Structure 1
Amino acid sequence: MAAAEPFRHLVRTPRPWARALGLVTVVLFGAWLGLLVVGNVRTPVGPMDTTMTLRPSLTGGTKINIAPLGALELDSHTAPIRLDVDVDRLDPVRAQALVQHPERISGLQEEITHDIEHGTLDLAVRSCAAVVVGGTTLGLLVYRRPRRALAAGGLALALLAASGATAYATWNPKSVLEPKYSGLLSSAPQVVGNARSIVSDFDVYQEELARLVTNVTKLYDAASTLPAYQPDPGTIRVLHVSDIHLNPASWPIIASLVKQYRIDVIIDSGDTMDHGTAAENQFLDPIKDLGVPYVWVRGNHDSVTTQKYLRHFRNVRVLDEGRAVTVGGLRIAGTGDPQFTPDRSVVPGGDASERLAGIRLASAISDQEAAGTPVDIAVAHEPVAARETDGTVPLVLAGHVHHRENEILKLGTRLKVEGSTGGGGLRAVQNKHPEKVLASVLYLDRTTRRLQAWDEITLGGLGLTTAEVSRHLATENQPAATPSPTPSGTGRSPAP
């Protein structure tokens, strides 16, 4: 028994370095538990609801998680703590407000800065409380001595304060310009582009195009070098638009065309949206104020949610699965795109699914013919589907490819493909050479309901503030020869 006394003495009195190591372990583990349990803050940042959290880290920095798209990392600071920001959801009310009022984007940076400062302050206060509570509680459980537990809590607070001071001293605000992307966001630099140039240039883009379309149309009406065809007041005038892709500048342009050309019917061959989410729906509300019937088919960027929303508009006729309607004296049948692939996250069905949709549309048109209600115009989003209606209808309209095509198919049907009336979408304005805004006015004889001529309206994109209108004749059911050019407005659109 006496021989064991020296060993008991060693067990009861640990060496100072072992006690210090044990205390540090308790402090770190307790602080981590405190941050994990209560050290997060839910705060709005612009149109997003986020959760901010501090985490122990060897390298520091900031990580922004955007489920399910991926994450981006910023080399914002060097310290043993990392800031995690989880984007929980996009608030539909705040997002819709931005879609409806793009001018608010100019103040978004200041709003986001204020939100982040407010959230960071809340996070700092909550984190201090979390590490003190975590360190003290674990210290009390391990040592069962209040004084030792309070020492653990104080040390945890001191470590957090030192980490915060280090992060502040090494803060790098330029890190936001060089983020590291992961997941689907790895393509974000190419997809999103320079947001600052979009914001600063969009107002000019929208105002100039809206003015140009009005002024050039007046010049066009007064020109004397047009082809011989002159539409009489009884002519049915159809405005064909396509691939607006969530560009709000398209609506004033369309409204101007409706007024200037006295349009009877608008036909939209799809891809009005970008992702087809419910948050985008209010972008469509200006359609209600256009004052004419709006015939629409679903594109591969338009969802069933988008389609259901449009069905509630009095002036909208949604066509799908070969449905036919009589609008403005014309019988029109159409089908939505069978594929919904806004970001190619779903494996597309390819041309086979498009051909099948076109065959079903052609069958529905033939049924209409047998019932004594022949179809005058067919509409599909994809030209591949539209081609399957050859021989069943005089005219078929499509979009999707963002450029114009005009072709007489083998069995006599004319295929007209419209380019992008949204100039490829709002994000396209930041490109070095923006896409042009394209639309067409179709003139159909009210008696025969056959295409007589059409005007192609082309508006330059941002930095290309030009507009031109060219007339084409549907002589002998053949594509018009090289049309006589009409005067086109160029430059800054002076008052007419």
Structure 2
Amino acid sequence: MKRLLHRLFNRRTARWSSLVLIGVVGALTGLLLGGRIQTPVGPADASLSFSLSWEGGTVVDVPPLGSLKLDSHSGPVVLNAQISQLRPSATESFLNDPNAVDELSKTITDQLRHGLVWMAVRGALVGFALAFLIALLVYRAWRPAVAALTAAAVTLSAFGVVAWLTFRPSSVAEPRYTGLLANAPQLVGDVQTVVQRFDEYRGMLAKLVGNVSELYATTSTLPIYEPDPDTLRVLHISDIHLNPIAWDVIRSITTQFQVEVIIDTGDLTDHGSRAEDRFADNIETLGDVPYVFVRGNHDSPGTQKAVAKNKNAIVLDGTTQTVKGLRIYGAGDPRFTPDKTTEDDSMTPEALQAEGEKLAAPLRGAPDPPHVAAIHDGNQARPFDGVTPLILSGHSHNRKTELLPHGTRLFVQGSTGGAGLRSLEHETPTKIELSLLYFNRETLALQAWDDFTLGGLGEQSVQVERHLTSTPPTAATPTSESPAPASAPPAP
């Protein structure tokens, strides 16, 4: 008798456990599949969805700038919101009406409330239906199906109760910025002073939409150039100098603009020490995007080895490699001057040009010349004039472009790390600079580039400047052209 009762108990326990599991799985799956909607938010359209994470919270994506995260609630459900597009007519009328902000504030609140309620209802209905149908298919009876549906309802109710009890209205005053937004928090206004109570949240949302509208309206005035599938996108960075914020900026632009190759022209570290080698591990966080690196004068041979350990890294040191069809020649800086005390620091510009001539000589007249040369110091890069159509360099922390006598474009990048902590030595912080280069995928000629400029430490500004080449030279026969517009005067 005891054995029979024990078996019945075990069977019932297993049955109820399976029904609870079906209910939970159905609820979660329904929440993820059904809890997705597109809703208007003022002059923009926003995508709302749920995702799972033990941390909970809210994530607001603002392409292509990055995202901000709010600790709005606890629990396994995260609310995701993304501004997907702006409606031109609505944006224009909003920007032209100074009184629109007050009306927009209430409109956004109502639209978001309606969207969130409808999203939750949809997710719950899909979850209930899945739990009911799965249990019906497994047990072929309506009572177990109702039990699974009840388990799903309890699960979703528990999620809702946890979110309600842990809801933190003050979280809107303490957002965490990632991507380009890490350097431009003014996009949502001064939240420390604007957001004093949750009742003012809708005012902050109105300002967010308004500022994003102005941003997109401003960038629409850039010269017309639409990258297409025939365009190869290459991101040029340089002189990060151990600034961790640089990785957020690089990662955001790489993702949003579908960058296919990253070229780093050196000075990843400050002193090239072994302790700094771990900083190079961030390269793998950029995914499968090839990361082409040449050593700068602040990078040691150990730094170069640390970079090479990353799966997506390609280290060039007097070598040429084809990456995504683009032949790239690179050479490390002949100096190692981490603290201005080594003899290498006394190399004159003439000595650097002589070193560059030694590197460039074997490439002259080559049947397959490089499309791009990556050299850290522009002085060492000048002898490559006529060898390649484009030279990428850095070192000076001052972005500029120059057409050399034989038609090669010398492109000197600023500091993508804002010169690191060195920027604190100056009254005006060094700006964070990097550029997105557009190559024709067939001819591999440079067609245009976007210069990204972010305010340095303590500043809050973002600028994107578009430049078009007039008659881009081919890889084999560089030719002269009229200088394209640049954000800085040509180098002397």
TM-score (norm 1): 0.52
Q: Which moved more, 1:236-245 or 1:210-219?
A: 210-219
Q: Aligned pair in 2 of structure 1 residues 205, 474: CA closer, same or farther (>3 Å)?
A: closer
Q: Secondary structure at the match of 1:252?
A: helix
* Match in the other structure for 1:415: 410
Q: Distance in 2 between matches of 1:339 and 1:218?
A: 46
Q: Secondary structure at the match of 1:391?
A: coil
* Match in the other structure for 2:383: 388
Give the one of 447, 452, 465 matched to 1:457.
452
CA RMSD of aligned residues (A): 2.9
User: What 5-or-longer segments of structure 1 have no aligned partner?
Assistant: 1-201, 484-496
Count, aligned residues: 278
Q: Distance in 1 between matches of 2:300 and 2:248?
A: 24
Q: Distance in 2 between matches of 1:468 and 1:481?
A: 15
* Match in the other structure for 2:230: 234
Q: Secondary structure at the match of 1:354?
A: helix
CA shift at 1:232, angstroms? 1.2
* Match in the other structure for 1:318: 315
Letter in 2 for 1:236: L
Give the one of 293, 297, 302 matched to 1:300.
297
What percent of counterpart residues are identical? 48
Residues 313-340 of structure 1, C-alpha deviations (whole Å, 9 max, x = no match): 121111112x001112200001111011
* Match in the other structure for 1:247: 243
* Match in the other structure for 1:351: 349
CA shift at 1:261, angstroms? 1.1
Q: Aligned pair in 2 of structure 1 residues 300, 276: CA closer, same or farther (>3 Å)?
A: same
Q: Distance in 1 between matches of 2:337 and 2:243?
A: 19
Give the one of 438, 441, 451 matched to 2:436.
441
Q: Aligned pair in 2 of structure 1 residues 358, 220: CA closer, same or farther (>3 Å)?
A: farther
Q: Secondary structure at the match of 1:386?
A: helix
Q: Aligned pair in 2 of structure 1 residues 278, 412: CA closer, same or farther (>3 Å)?
A: same
Residues 449-493 of structure 1, C-alpha deviations (whole Å, 9 max, x = no match): 01100000000012320001010011123321478xxxxxxxxxx
1:239 touches 1:442 (CA, 8 Å); kept in 2? yes
Give the one of 336, 358, 361 matched to 2:359.
361
* Match in the other structure for 2:168: none
Q: Secondary structure at the match of 1:388?
A: helix
Letter in 2 for 1:396: I
CA shift at 1:431, angstroms? 4.3
* Match in the other structure for 2:279: 283
Letter in 2 for 1:282: R
Letter in 2 for 1:388: P
Give the one of 372, 375, 400 matched to 1:405.
400
Q: Which moved more, 1:432-441 or 1:224-233?
A: 224-233
Q: Aligned pair in 2 of structure 1 residues 398, 239: CA closer, same or farther (>3 Å)?
A: same
The reply on whether 1:375 has 2:375 as its aligned counterpart is no
CA shift at 1:342, angstroms? 1.2
CA shift at 1:366, angstroms? 2.9
Give the one of 455, 469, 474 matched to 1:474.
469
Q: Aligned pair in 2 of structure 1 residues 383, 430: CA closer, same or farther (>3 Å)?
A: closer
Q: Distance in 2 between matches of 1:290 and 1:248?
A: 13
2:371 touches 2:389 (CA, 8 Å); kept in 1? yes
The reply on whether 1:269 has 2:265 as its aligned counterpart is yes
Q: Distance in 1 between matches of 2:187 and 2:253?
A: 7
Letter in 2 for 1:387: R
Q: Distance in 2 between matches of 1:239 and 1:414?
A: 16
Letter in 1 for 2:300: S
CA shift at 1:345, angstroms? 0.9
Q: Aligned pair in 2 of structure 1 residues 327, 482: CA closer, same or farther (>3 Å)?
A: closer
1:319 touches 1:336 (CA, 8 Å); kept in 2? yes
The reply on whether 1:309 has 2:306 as its aligned counterpart is yes
CA shift at 1:383, angstroms? 0.3
Q: Aligned pair in 2 of structure 1 residues 252, 464: CA closer, same or farther (>3 Å)?
A: same
Q: Distance in 2 between matches of 1:204 and 1:361?
A: 40
Q: Aligned pair in 2 of structure 1 residues 270, 482: CA closer, same or farther (>3 Å)?
A: closer
Q: Distance in 2 between matches of 1:449 and 1:239?
A: 15
Work out which of the two has the higher radius of gyration on C-alpha atoms and give 1 or 2. 1
2:290 touches 2:313 (CA, 8 Å); kept in 1? yes
What pairs with 1:7-26 in structure 2 (closer than 5 Å)? none
Residues 404-446 of structure 1, C-alpha deviations (whole Å, 9 max, x = no match): 1111100010000000001011342464321110000000101
Letter in 2 for 1:363: A
Letter in 2 for 1:361: L
TM-score (norm 2): 0.53
Poorly superposed stretches of 4+, deviation over 6 Å? 202-207, 210-218
CA shift at 1:354, angstroms? 1.6
1:210 touches 1:256 (CA, 8 Å); kept in 2? no
Q: Distance in 2 between matches of 1:481 and 1:450?
A: 18
Residues 59-97 of structure 1, C-alpha deviations (whole Å, 9 max, x = no match): xxxxxxxxxxxxxxxxxxxxxxxxxxxxxxxxxxxxxxx
